[in-house]
Amino acid sequence: MKNFSRRDCLQAMAAAAGMSALAMPCMSLAAQNLVVNTYGGRWEKFWRSDLMPMFMKTAGVQTTLDVGLGKNFVANLRAAGVEKPPYSILMVNENIASLVRAEGYFEPIPAAKVPNLANVYPILRNPGDNGVRGIVSTIGIGYRKDLVKTPPKSWSDLWSNPEFKGKIGLYQIGNTAAMLFLLMTAKLYGGSQDAIDRAFAEIKKLLPFTQADWSGTLSTMLTRGDVTVAVIDFPEIVALQKKGVPVEMVLPTEGVLAFEQSFNVLKNAPAKEEAYKYLDFILRADVQEMMAREFFTSPTHMGSKLPPDLARDVPVSGERMKSIFQFDWAKVNPQVAAITDRWNREMK
C-alpha cells in the first residue's frame, strides 16, 4: 500500500477545497430557494402563472411550489420536526395554523421586516403578530332565487323560515366551514363560542339538512335544487352565478364567517429573509386585488380598492371586514376531536 505523504494530503485538501468551491454557488442558491405552498387546481395555476413570476421579478427569489392540502402540509411539518422544517413560511387555514403554533413551529413576524403587515386590517393580525390572516374568503348564506319565496336576511332565518325545512345545505364537520358555523351558533344563541352544548341543541333543530363533504358537492346540490339554501363561501356562489345558476348571496345581518389563510414564519426557517419578502409581497395592495379578481377573495390590505364590477362579486371588503366573526382557535382545538365525534353521533 502506498504511503500517504504530505503532498498527497495537500492535493486531497486542494481537491476537496475545489469541490466545495464548485458546490458553493449551488449551496447559496439552495439557501435562497424558497419553498412556497399552495392548494391544487386554480390556486396552483394562479401561483405558477401569475404570482410566482411576479414575485421572482420583484424580489429576485427563486421559489419551488409545494401543492397539497392544508392538512398534508401539517403532516409534512410534523414528520420533519420543529428543528428542520421543510418550509420557511406556511399558508394554512387559521384553525390549523393555531394547532401547529401550539406545537412550537412558528415565531412572531417582525413588523420591520414585513412593512405591509401594518396595512392589514387589525382583526386579521394575530396577537403578537404570531401569524397573519393574509387571504380571506368569506362565507355567508347562498340561496336559489327561483325556489325561495322569502330570501333570508340573517342567520336566524335559517331557523325561523319554514320554507327552508329539509332544504338546508351545510358542510360536514371535517370542513372548517362546519366548525365555523357551530362556533357562530354558539356565539349567537349562547353568548360565547364556549356555548357548544347550546350550539348543538340549536343546529339539531335544523335537521334534516344535507351535509356536503366539500364546496363542489354543495354547489352541485344547489344547482340541482336538492337544497335551496346553503351556508357556503361567496366565491362558490359567484362561480355558480357565472355559470347561469339562479343563486344569490346574502350577507347575514349578524356578520359573516370566513376561511382565513394564515401565513406563518417558521422558527427554524431555512430561508427566513426570503420568507419575509414573500409575505410582504402577498400582503401588497395590488397583489390582494389580483387575488380578488382571480378567487373573489376579500383584500386584506386596508388600502386595496375594488372597482365596482369586482365589488359586486366580492361583497365583503373595506369597512365590512369588521363584520367577520372571530374565534379563539387555541380554545377550540383541544375540543375538536370531541366535537367531531359528537357531531357524527347527533347530526343525522
* Positions in the binding site for other proteins (CB under 8 A): 71, 74, 78, 99, 102-104, 172-174, 210-211, 213, 216-217, 220-221, 224-226, 333-334, 336-337, 340-341, 344-345, 347-348
Give CB contacts under 8 A, 24+ apart, made by 280-289. 280/113, 280/114, 280/115, 280/116, 280/117, 281/54, 281/55, 281/58, 281/59, 282/134, 282/135, 283/114, 283/116, 283/117, 283/119, 283/120, 283/132, 283/134, 284/116, 285/119, 287/51, 287/54
Between 133 and 144, name the residue whose CB sits nearer to other proteins.
144
Tell me how far, at minimum, the Cβ of 340 lies from other proteins, in Å: 6
**Residue 315 grid coordinates:** 361583497
Between 74 and 316, name the residue whose CB sits nearer to other proteins.
74
Between 77 and 291, name the residue whose CB sits nearer to other proteins.
77
Between 26 and 337, name the residue whose CB sits nearer to other proteins.
337
Tell me how far, at minimum, the Cβ of 108 lies from other proteins, in Å: 18
How many other C-beta atoms are found inside a 10 Å radius of the C-beta of residue 159?
Answer: 16
Tell me how far, at minimum, the Cβ of 11 lies from other proteins, in Å: 39
Tell me how far, at minimum, the Cβ of 49 lies from other proteins, in Å: 24
Between 185 and 288, name the residue whose CB sits nearer to other proteins.
185
Cite the beta strand spans of the chain per DSSP E: 34-38, 63-67, 89-93, 106-107, 132-144, 168-171, 210-212, 229-233, 247-250, 257-266
Tell me how far, at minimum, the Cβ of 302 lies from other proteins, in Å: 33
DSSP-based helix, strand, coil % in the chain, nearest 5: 50, 20, 30
Q: Distance between CA atoms of 89 and 265, rounded to whole angstroms?
A: 4
Tell me how far, at minimum, the Cβ of 341 lies from other proteins, in Å: 8
Query: Environment class of residue 216 by beta-carbon count within 10 Å: exposed (0-12), middle (13-18) or buried (19+)?
Result: exposed
Spell out the residues 6+ positions from residue 272 whose beta carbon is closer than 8 angstroms to its own. Answer: 88, 265, 266
Spell out the residues 6+ positions from residue 293 whose beta carbon is closer than 8 angstroms to its own. Answer: 310
Between 197 and 213, name the residue whose CB sits nearer to other proteins.
213
Tell me how far, at minimum, the Cβ of 41 lies from other proteins, in Å: 12
CB 278 within 8 A of CB 59: yes
Tell me how far, at minimum, the Cβ of 40 lies from other proteins, in Å: 12
Q: Distance between CA atoms of 72 and 178, rounded to whole angstroms?
A: 20
Between 84 and 345, name the residue whose CB sits nearer to other proteins.
345
Between 92 and 283, name the residue whose CB sits nearer to other proteins.
92
Residues written for the chain = 348
